[in-house]
Structure 1
Amino acid sequence: MRIALTVLLLAWPIAAAEEKISIRTSRQGDLREVAVDMLLPVPLQRAWEVMTDFDRMSEFLPNLEESRIVGRQGERLQVRQRGVARYGWLRFGYASVREVSLTPYTTIEIKGSDDHVRQFGSRAMLTEQDGRTKLSYQAYWEPNGWLAGLIGDAAVREQVSLQFSALEREMLRRESQATNKGEAR
């Protein structure tokens, strides 16, 4: 009984962490999809601030080496990004200019392509929930050729978890700084 209780107590923080972010993947031929749901412990405006900080994203997102807004027309942006996607021992450099459409504080839509991906797109939807932010994210991509078969669902979930955990850390860091400075939420 004591061993079972110890195992349960040790496993509880792991189970709690897994409930914090829900990641689902699917595949239809070469088309890959991922859906993420998570509750972020920051106000909506802080989450929005971080998720749309394209000029500084390479400072807090792993695998992203450069991110810069290269064009703007109202709530439509062109963002140049360059980095390295890592899946186990596989590494793929990428560079793209992404078309970003913003609906302030609720929706971020991104579309584009690059040398390794025929098409990709994503939609992040944010809603406020008791002073926190609920994030619902869907993305799709269609890798070029042989790349599609090499990347399994576990690798996709790992990379997505890594990226969203980094976003959350940056949100918490900025929220802490704002709180320490006495800024209003």
Structure 2
Amino acid sequence: MKLMCLLLLLSSFATANDVRVTARKEADLVKIDAEFSVAVSKEQAWQVMVDFEHMPQFLPQLVSSHIISQSGNHLRVSQALNVPLSLFNYQYESVRDIDLKPFSEIRATSVGGSEAYKSVALLKPALGQTVISYHAEWLPESSLLAGFALDTMRNQIRQQFTAMQQEMLKRHDQRASASTPQTH
């Protein structure tokens, strides 16, 4: 029994670290790709990925997140982050337009500000899991900032998706526990 508990713990730990992220600079553009899988349905994964109002509760460095407006599957979301960088913290706010294709695609585009950022997240079922693929393109104000920020961007995206993955599994386990009949 102890061995089984240890194996379950190790398998969930390995799953949480299975977020693959690459970031590269092409001319002035930074391109970021990430992918991970999680043993929940697309619908369960989706619920976490679009839970903008509660994201500060489970995403590291996210200070605030609010839906400013919503019209059908189109949202405008405001978020503030506090990212540690070496000796100081980098704080920034973003406002993004989010277009949702329920349970399969989330597109985000920055609005306002001096830096362009757009991303797409795709959710696909695969053998009892959901695979989330993410691609983003960022055009920073400064080319110098882009080169400096690659490692930070990779780490930030990895942390955020790992936290999302853990939240998906937590909610999945809570639903499973709630639906299991209790015997006394």
With structure 1 as the length reference, what TM-score do the two structures score? 0.82
Aligned residue in 2 for 1:139:
136
* 2:25 and 2:147 in contact (8 A); partners too: no
Query: Structure 2: which 5+ runs fail to align?
Result: 1-10
Structure 1 residues 163, 169: closer, same or farther in 2, change over 3 A?
Answer: same
Distance (whole Å) between structure 1 residues aligned to residue 63 and residue 16 of structure 2: 28
The number of residues matched between the two structures is 168
Q: Please list the CA deviations of residues 47-78 of structure 1 after superposition, one character each: whole Å capped at 9, or x if unmatched.
A: 00000000111111111111011100100000
- Measured after TM superposition, the shift of residue 149 of structure 1 is 3.4
Local SS of the residue matching 2:20: strand
Where does 1:29-44 land on structure 2 (aligned, <5 Å)?
29-44=27-42
Distance (whole Å) between structure 2 residues aligned to residue 172 and residue 22 of structure 1: 18
RMSD (CA atoms): 2.2
Distance (whole Å) between structure 1 residues aligned to residue 36 and residue 20 of structure 2: 6
Distance (whole Å) between structure 2 residues aligned to residue 114 and residue 138 of structure 1: 21
Query: Structure 1: which 5+ runs fail to align?
Result: 1-12
Identical columns (%) = 31
Relative contact order (C-alpha < 8 Å, sep 6+): which is higher? 2
Counterpart of 1:41, as a letter, is A
With structure 2 as the length reference, what TM-score do the two structures score? 0.83
Distance (whole Å) between structure 2 residues aligned to residue 32 and residue 114 of structure 1: 19
* 1:88 and 1:155 in contact (8 A); partners too: no
- Measured after TM superposition, the shift of residue 154 of structure 1 is 2.9
Distance (whole Å) between structure 1 residues aligned to residue 91 and residue 104 of structure 2: 31
